[in-house]
Structure 1
Amino acid sequence: MLIENTPQLGPSDISAGHDCNSNLTSSDDGSNLGYPIMLKNSVDSSDPESLAFDPNSEEIKKVRWKVDKRLIPLLAVMYLCSFLDRANIGNAKVAGIERDLNLQPGEFNTALSIFYVGYVLGEVPSNMALKHFGPRKWLPAVMFVWGSVMIAMAAVKTAGGLYAARFFLGLAESGYAPGPVYIISMWYARNEQTLRVGLFFSASTVAGAFGGLLAYGISHMDGLHGLTGWQWIFIIEGIPTILVCFIALIYLPDFPATSTFLTPTERALTIKRLEVDVGPGVEPNLSWVQFWAAWKDWKVHVHMFIAILHGIPFAALGLFIPSIVQGFGYDHVKTQIMTVPIYAVACFFVILFAYSSDKKKERGFHMAILSFMGMIGYACLVFTRDSSVGARYVSLMVCTSGMYGYVPVMLSWVGVNIGGQTKRGVALALIIAIAHIGSVIGGQLYRNDDAPLYVRGHTVSALLMAGATVSVLVFKWLLIRENRRRDRLTPEEYARESSGTDLADKHPSFRFYS
């Protein structure tokens, strides 16, 4: 069946094996989406063939809102737990973990970096497991593991114990990181994804603010039942993760074709809406053609390069905001509370740029502006080091807003431009993995011999974000050029490039968001 009111290609151009058989007539901005579709999905509906498709109909909006209510709040809470559990070691540092474990110079930074070693090692296998087991089983399982490790961290007595706990925490959390972006790419049209990624990712800024508030309160528990403040941080922030994993096991849906919270008609509408946007998308098994295609795709390589430029300073920032703020002259208790406004402002920018990026169907300029904000913020932290606390505090706000706002736009850029479920999942895992290889380096960026001003760390971060700004703009130009090349294909060239199976985004009718 062909969806009504869509441009039709010849029979040779339509392949049920293709994910993303698009026929975009406006290639630069990703608008005017029109795809010939053959429904592959077997949906139990009274008459799914008769469902006329209008992406702006009230019925479609109601179904999308139903999915939003079920999916986004739960993903956000799960991500809040993830970010809180990985970053609370920064609050533990302020609360005295270095002193109590008698850590030698450099050992705390090693504990930060080793988390990302486990993270990187588990990234690709975990995302393949997500595809195999489904989100409802896999994500709660890894949540239970990392929540248990988080609580157990309160018992560490030595640097070696801290290293082991951080490694296994990273290994467990690697199973969650690419999951939400992958799930969102399976449930939403391309021009709807960035806002949803931004909404769930904004939980990281909420985690930063909430973590600061929580650490402020927990600081007053120091000595209670013979435990230090940092031990209470690990215990109290690990328990909610365990509780949330059981909620997720009950309420988290898998993919549209197998969802049980939608009616048969709602499933048919959801699947049809996605097929009109990205083509037939059911892959009952892993596609090894797409698996290897993800490793060889030049676009994935560019995304990886951009991700590592951002990943190095971003990891350091998330871990060291409490230490940077403490360097402004606050005591360890007030430091915790002063981190809250920084994250609150960042949350606003995350949602603002995610909304704008989807609204305008644009990625490159949004990322360039945000990376430029990060660069300016870091530069101001260097050049205002002898200025008032207020000037440095505002500089840190600008920097944090740019760095956090960048992430959902970057991740959704991958989701909308990589076709094929397997290829998209592997690409996301590779890009997040390489970003966290950068995080291993980032854990070494802010060292005690650079405290309290951290001039060296801020300078390196500013240079990396300058590189990210330039790289994003070059990548945008390359995508526009490729779209225009496909627009100019002759019928013979089109037929040659569209032959084969599992082409995904290599199909000449696919157009990239730039």
Structure 2
Amino acid sequence: MDSSIAYEKPVGARSREKPLADITPTPADLSPTTMTEKPDNNAIEQARLAVDDAESIDKAAAQGRGVDDAFRFAVDGSDVTWTEAEERKVRWKIDAVILPLLFISAVVGYSDSQAYGFAALFGLVTDLKLYAFKVVNGQAALDLSKYSLSASIANLGAVAGQYPLLAAAQYFSYGKFNCAFVIYTGLLSILTIVCKDFSDIMALRFFYGFATITQPLAIIITSMWWKTREQPLRVGLFIAGSALGQLVGQGVDLGATSLKGAYAASPWKWIYVILGSVTIGFGIIAFFIFPATPMTAWFLTQKEKVIAVRRLTTNNTGIQTRKFKLKQLKEAALDPQLALLGVYAFAFAFANAALGAFGPFLITSFGYSKRHGIALLMPATAVAMTSMIVSGALGSMYPRRRIAIAMLFILPSIAGNCILWKVERTNAPALLAGLYISTTFYGALVQQFSLLAGNVAGHTKKSVTNATIVLLANLGGFSGPWSYHGDEAAQGYPTGQISALCLMCASEAAFAILWVYYYYQNKKKAALREAQPELTNDPNISFIDLTDKENPVFDYVC
């Protein structure tokens, strides 16, 4: 983009913020007593040049290229004013529509995904011949390698699907794309009952992995509707839907295995028939309810739509840009945020997948029956759900302490894994307590999601970063079940506990390094933010699809 091009007033606009070239500060404007560093006088001009368009931002906006969909909407409504009460009303409406849709999507989606471990207890392993016997120290032992592979293959499907699916989603409505994959999840859930052998279940589970696209979609949707400081609580609430989905799923699993009828000989099939049908039904309804963007929200008046968009300018992360930018892909790949958040993503998915696939087996290794294995896993799920909600509430109360909160929720998990590793197998109550407190690491997931929503800007960068995080998570999910060895059941699967313990410790270190990174990045841009705080609320910056590094006033929350 030529440096001589100025920002022209959009056709039909009532008013416009000052052009960026006109609000670049001079040295005289800046007070050295309030600045930690001298601001770069060319920072805003460089940000303007970062927009990938040959003529002007307004032309790009008119053609739907290179800038955010909300750009014209925001600048055309720049003279709209509103009160705190009006903004609260808009936020309440968003909470009343978008939050339940995300929450229930998580409930039904996770109800399906957690069912595999319980189905294994009630005939799936034997029906599909996912086992073998081997000799260990002269004695016959159960080899569950095929089951482990079938449990893990969905993660490889997720890895294969993340980049192309998120690249495609950029050109559609994220809400409807999310609902389409809820329906997809339900369909594959029902199709599980027609699988006859190892080959069938491997193929189906691979494509089942594509449904994990709903996780990064939920993060992107969060940044489209809520302010950065509002995001942790909302993230905590709808992610808690995954834990509630596990609880609901476990209740359905327990009841379904008691049903007779067509699947009396294979009660695991009832689990998938019930959960799959409910998931499809909800997905279809949600598809027609979920609005594409705040600019087209059916439940908001015209003024409320403007408020819903304009109030997000301080996020500096935009709403949606329908153009894939290679330079943002490169920036995402080289950003330390990606590697550091990826450590926890891998660790969380590793522990979560291992618990999902082998949690019931772990509890039976304490000496409990199969049906007790389901019932006694429910409190662990309740602890996980409570951790998410509490973490979300703390994140909203202390929005600048998100990393500290994440680290706090990992500490009990470290202790829990130590108990599961070291306590005698005869002490079932202590082992159960260790299992329950080991699930507090779910609370850190809320903070990871809110960091991704609030600290990654630039639409292509956001998509690539979230896709890579989910890719790393699914590699962790693929690895998790393999750390549980069938011949270690009597010892409480020590390899699994040691592996999870090491990864949780690595996550603590990664979060600490991430905090230092954010601190120094914020320090670099502090001078310009303090000199001209109005720039942090300017749609000429917020909605031209700048990345967090390109934006001269971007403020990382940490």
Is 1:510 the equivalent of 2:554? Answer: yes
1:290 match: 328
Provide the C-alpha distance between the structure 1 equivalents of 2:187 and 2:472, rounded to a whole number of angstroms. Answer: 26
Q: Does structure 1 residue 78 correspond to structure 2 residue 105? A: yes
Contact kept in structure 1, 2:344 and 2:504, CA below 8 Å: no
Which whole-Å CA distance do the structure 2 matches of 1:324 and 1:443 have between them? Answer: 12
Cα deviation for residue 488 of structure 1 reads 5.9
For 1:142 and 1:217, how far apart are their aligned partners in 2? 26
Between 1:284-293 and 1:83-92, the stretch displaced more is 284-293
Percent identity of equivalent pairs:
26
8 Å CA contact 1:210, 1:340 repeated in 2: no
* Partners of 1:120 and 1:174 within 8 A in 2: no
- Provide the residue aligned with 1:454 in structure 2: 493
The alpha carbon displacement at 1:299 in A equals: 1.8
Bigger Rg, structure 1 or 2: 2
How far apart in 1 are the matches of 2:49 and 2:98?
A: 28
**CA distance 1:130–1:502, shift in 2 (3 Å):** closer
Q: Is the 8 A contact 1:191 1:358 kept in 2?
A: yes
Partner of 1:133: 172
1:143 matched to 2:173? The reply is no
Shift of 1:480: 1.0
Query: Which residue matches 1:41?
Result: 71
Equivalent residue of 1:434, what SS? helix
- Flag the 1:107–1:94 CA change in 2: closer, same or farther, 3 A: same
What residue identity is the alignment partner of 1:446?
Y
Name which of 161, 169, 173 aligns with 2:208: 169
Match of 1:201 in 2: 239
Once the two structures are TM-superposed, the CA of residue 154 in structure 1 deviates from its matched residue by 0.9
Q: What is aligned with 1:95?
A: 122
Instruction: Assess if the C-alpha contact under 8 Å between 1:420 and 1:504 holds in 2.
Output: yes
Q: CA deviation at 1:162?
A: 1.2
Q: Could you tell me the TM-score, scaled by structure 1's length?
A: 0.87
* Matched position secondary structure for 1:176: helix
SS in 2 for 1:504: coil
CA distance in 1: counterparts of 2:82 and 2:466, whole angstroms: 30
Say whether the 8 Å CA contact 1:129–1:138 is kept in structure 2. no
- Tell me which of 512, 516, 522 is aligned to 1:483: 522
Change (3 A) 1:44 1:509: closer
Q: What is the total number of aligned residue pairs between the two structures?
A: 479
Q: CA deviation at 1:149?
A: 1.2
CA, structure 1 residues 93+151, in 2 after alignment: closer, same or farther (shift >3 Å)?
A: same
Cα deviations by residue, 1:334-391 (Å, 9 ceiling, x for unpaired): 2222222221222111100111012211221111112222111111111223353221
Q: Which structure exhibits the higher relative contact order, with contacts defined as CA atoms closer than 8 Å and separated by 6 or more residues?
A: 1
Residues 76-111 of structure 1, C-alpha deviation per residue, up to 9 Å, x if partnerless? Answer: 111122212222111111212212222222000000
Distance 1:489 1:17, change over 3 A: closer
CA–CA distance in structure 1, aligned partners of residues 300 and 452 of structure 2? 27
Partner residue of 1:25?
Answer: none
Query: Which secondary structure does the structure 1 equivalent of 2:321 belong to?
Result: coil
1:321, distance to aligned residue in structure 2 (A):
2.0
Tell me: CA distance 1:179–1:194, structure 2 relative to 1, closer, same or farther (3 Å): same
Asked whether the 8 Å contact 1:314–1:403 carries over to 2, the reply is: no
- Alignment of 1:52 with 2:89, yes or no, is no
The match for 2:272 is 234
Q: Deviations over 1:241-280 (max 9, x none)?
A: 1101111111112221232321110110011100133265
Which residue type is aligned with residue 513 of structure 1? V
Cα-to-partner distance string for 1:101-143 (whole Å, 9 max, x where unaligned):
2222200000011010001111122122222111243222222
SS at match of 1:133: coil
Aligned counterpart, 1:248:
286
Q: In structure 2, do the counterparts of structure 1 residues 65 and 490 end up closer, same or farther at CA, with 3 Å as the change threshold? A: closer
Q: Which amino acid aligns with 2:548?
A: D
Query: Once structures 1 and 2 are overlaid, which stretch shifts more, 292-301 or 247-256?
Result: 292-301
**Residues 363 and 373 in structure 2, CA contact (< 8 A), matched pair in contact too:** yes
1:156 aligns with 2:195: yes
Secondary structure of residue in 1 paired with 2:215: coil
The corresponding residue for 2:420 is: 381
- Matched residue SS, 1:510: coil
Matched residue of 2:114: which SS?
A: helix
Q: Which runs of 5+ in 2 are unaligned?
A: 1-15, 26-40, 52-67, 132-142, 531-540
CA gap of 1:16–1:261, structure 2 versus 1, over 3 A, is farther
Q: Which residue of 2 aligns with 1:332?
A: 370
SS at match of 2:482: coil
Query: What residue identity is the alignment partner of 1:394?
Result: A
What is the RMSD of the two structures over their aligned residues, measured on CA atoms?
2.7
Distance 1:508 1:258 in 2: 30
- State whether residues 223 and 229 of structure 1, in contact with CA within 8 Å, keep that contact through their aligned partners in structure 2: no
Distance (whole Å) between structure 2 residues aligned to residue 348 and residue 502 of structure 1: 36
State whether residues 101 and 158 of structure 1, in contact with CA within 8 Å, keep that contact through their aligned partners in structure 2.
Answer: yes
Moved more, 114-123 or 222-231: 222-231
Which position in structure 1 is the counterpart of 2:33? none
